[in-house]
Structure 1
Amino acid sequence: MTEFEVPVLSIKHLNKQFGTGCAHCTNPEPDALIKNYCKVCGTVFACRDVSFDVYPGEVLGVVGESGSGKSTLMQCLYFDQEATSGEAYISSYQNGLKNLFQESSQQKRYIRNNLMGKVYQNPLLGLKIDFSSIGNIAEKLIAAGSRNVEMMEARGTDLLGKVNIPIHRSKEAPKNFSGGMQQRVQIAKALSNNPPILLLDEVTTGLDLSVQASVLDLIKSLQRELNISIVLVSHDLGVIRMLADRTMVMLDGQVIEQGLTDQILEDPQHAFTQQLVHSLL
């Protein structure tokens, strides 16, 4: 098996529920749930038995309507939420043999700071909005154990240049920036430790179309240059078409279809995916 056949990230049977569940909804009867909601006890099954692999240098798109579970999936991957059950493995962590979901909170912090980067839909979640832009990057580097101020300043300047933030604004706080510039600072921060995996959660939602295009171009060029693996969540099939090699479609917390992006968009099999694709045409 070559290194390119070994997944960078492997997720198996991930489940996330909000609520304790009851005899009614843990019953596998097809009509036990309304979509992914139990009308008896109010439990929401946000992710149900989600499994996928991401390979080196690959962009995996995750698409679905609001409430399909895609953002909850991302929160579980980055430990913003605790998965109810399931397994997650990163090939560069403990030889890919340790289930990340069962690690201590200290180890999860290490994995977040060293092996993953995340860009949130809302920059307020990913940035300290009153810190300087370069200070935001330094914060991530310090969390990963860096102590050399010169190195951190050089790394921060280099990354802000890569994401087209003018050098004279590197000491400025992101609160003074436009939405598109804030997203670019988030991308720089997420990339600061050269993580093998980047998680992008609806990163262009709410941006003007021209700004969306420049952010997407930036992601595409950085991904090629750094050969980074990306999990990209979007409800916008145009974004998925532009960036994703493979695509996974979610509905009511479940993966209903996955395959090469071209194949999903040209010849969707599931009725929901067909509806999604036709709404784009």
Structure 2
Amino acid sequence: MSEFTTPILTIKKLNKQFGSGCEQCRSKVDRKLNRNYCPNCGTIYSCRDITFDLYPGEVLGIVGESGSGKSTLMRSIYFDQPATSGEAYLQFYKEGKSNLFEESSQQKKYIRHHLMGKVYQNPVQGLRMGFTSIANIAEKMIAAENRNVESMESRGRELLNQVRIPVHRMMEAPKNFSGGMQQRVQIAKALSNNPPILLLDEVTTGLDLSVQANVLDLIKQLQRELNISMLLVSHDLGVIRMLADRTMVMLDGVIVEQGLTDQILEDPQHAYTQQLVHSLL
């Protein structure tokens, strides 16, 4: 990991709610919620004032139970859904001075295709299952305005080789692949335009343990080789321990604790983090 200098990504007070809110839950001072849910109007506050920095070459883990808001956070950052409010700044975009959430849809597409890659928990969300593997990689390159067929094919071969997919299977569709191989094709696709940031959302959930280990080894190797910054979401502290330099713990849409991963695992401060760590022992 590089020396911490200027953050590559800064998120400030990101909020995402589902529902319009009411008098009981709109005020942050005297908000009456049942966890992150308003029993009066049914509004769900999935992310509440989420603030953090991601540094060059760093893997930042985000851990929490289902419904804690971690995947909603990733969807907001990747523009899969709009944030309700908040700010996001990317060092590689307009010198980190423009709030990404306020950019036009055209600019958001540019950011999404040139400056970020995302690997989804369910490969169906990240891949076209009926396209060939190499066509899936080319699709993201075309979205980034690459029109050179030769360079796309060459890059596709290089990436499939890098993620350990046999090149003789590049013309096969991911629907014919195992879950672990589908995730590796997704990783290749996400890396196709050399983005400085990779978002990984529960990428090993549902895979057999041996397959999980292979995918995690691959991510670790790629991170070392490419020195890419990663945001890694998981409910599994074992995954976080293996990959993350720093960790944020989320509960009910709020960051309840953050720090160096070793520190969080060895000396958890918040009761929920203590519970998580003890369940790992």
Q: Please say whether Structure 1 and Structure 2 have the same fold, judged by a TM-score greater than 0.5.
A: yes
Counterpart CA distance in 2 for 1:198 and 1:23 is: 39
Counterpart CA distance in 1 for 2:253 and 2:211 is: 31
User: Which shifted more, 47-56 or 31-40?
Assistant: 31-40
Indicate whether 1:122 and 2:122 are aligned.
Answer: yes
Secondary structure of residue in 2 paired with 1:248: strand
For structure 2, list consecutive stretches of 5 or more residues without a partner in the other structure. none
Counterpart CA distance in 2 for 1:31 and 1:87 is: 22
Tell me the matched-pair count: 280
The superposition leaves residues 178-227 of structure 1 with CA deviations (integer Å, 9 ceiling, x where unpaired) of: 00000000000000000000000000000000000000000000001000
2:44 aligned partner:
44
Indicate whether 1:275 and 2:275 are aligned.
Answer: yes
Aligned pairs for 1:81-120 (under 5 A) are: 81-120=81-120
Q: CA deviation at 1:28?
A: 3.4
Instruction: Identify if the C-alpha distance between structure 1 residues 31 and 24 changes in structure 2 by more than 3 Å, giving closer, same or farther.
Output: closer
Aligned pairs for 1:1-281 (under 5 A) are: 4-28=4-28, 32-281=32-281
Q: CA deviation at 1:29?
A: 5.3
Between the aligned residues of both structures, percent identity stands at: 75
The superposition leaves residues 108-132 of structure 1 with CA deviations (integer Å, 9 ceiling, x where unpaired) of: 0000000000000000000011000
What RMSD in Å do the two structures reach over aligned CA positions?
1.1
TM-score, normalised via structure 2 length: 0.98
Counterpart CA distance in 2 for 1:4 and 1:136 is: 34
Counterpart CA distance in 2 for 1:151 and 1:26 is: 52
**What amino acid maps onto 2:142 in structure 1?**
I
**What amino acid maps onto 1:20 in structure 2?**
S
Secondary structure of residue in 2 paired with 1:205: coil
Q: CA deviation at 1:26?
A: 1.4
Secondary structure of residue in 1 paired with 2:25: coil
Secondary structure of residue in 1 paired with 2:161: helix
TM-score, normalised via structure 1 length: 0.98
Q: CA deviation at 1:4?
A: 4.3
**What amino acid maps onto 2:131 in structure 1?**
F
**What amino acid maps onto 1:63 in structure 2?**
V
Secondary structure of residue in 2 paired with 1:141: helix
Instruction: Identify if the C-alpha distance between structure 1 residues 239 and 30 changes in structure 2 by more than 3 Å, giving closer, same or farther.
Output: farther
Secondary structure of residue in 2 paired with 1:5: coil
Secondary structure of residue in 2 paired with 1:159: helix
Counterpart CA distance in 2 for 1:180 and 1:249 is: 27
**What amino acid maps onto 1:102 in structure 2?**
E
For structure 1, list consecutive stretches of 5 or more residues without a partner in the other structure. none
Q: CA deviation at 1:106?
A: 0.5
Hey, which bits of structure 1, 4+ residues long, moved more than 3 A? 28-31
Q: CA deviation at 1:3?
A: 8.3
Counterpart CA distance in 2 for 1:264 and 1:155 is: 39
Asked if 1 retains the 8 angstrom alpha-carbon contact of 2:69 and 2:252, the reply is yes
Q: CA deviation at 1:27?
A: 2.8
Counterpart CA distance in 1 for 2:203 and 2:250 is: 18
Counterpart CA distance in 2 for 1:30 and 1:215 is: 45
Counterpart CA distance in 2 for 1:136 and 1:270 is: 42
Instruction: Identify if the C-alpha distance between structure 1 residues 127 and 103 changes in structure 2 by more than 3 Å, giving closer, same or farther.
Output: same
